Amino acid sequence: MSLDKATVARVATLARIKVPDEELDKMVREISGIMTWIEQLREVDTTGIAPMTSVVEHVLNQRADQINDGGYADDVTRNAADRVQLGDGAFFVVPKVIE
């Protein structure tokens, strides 16, 4: 695919990239080469080949889904500046947010 200077300048403007006029010829050659390479890749027959997300097939480690009832309120609130002990649990004291 061949591009011209006007197209490259327009793309640079849309991408908000400042390209000096003396650099446009170089950019035209580079981008045209990239587009030609992309066209070559499109010619490759990939029917029956699953898309790849990684070159390494792997399965993530998963932990067992176990219920944890907590029960560590005293340990968690031990260093709190203000805390309230109610029944079996301890709670943080926070300032009132809604009036």
Which one-letter amino acid corresponds to residue 2? S
pLDDT at residue 1, as a whole number: 66
Domain ranges of the chain: 5-42
Summarised one tens digit per residue, pLDDT across range 3-14 is 889 999 999 999
pLDDT at residue 76, as a whole number: 77
Share of the chain above pLDDT 70, in %: 98
> Among 45, 44, 46, 13, which residue's Cα sits nearest to residue 27?
13
Span 30-52, mean pLDDT? Answer: 90
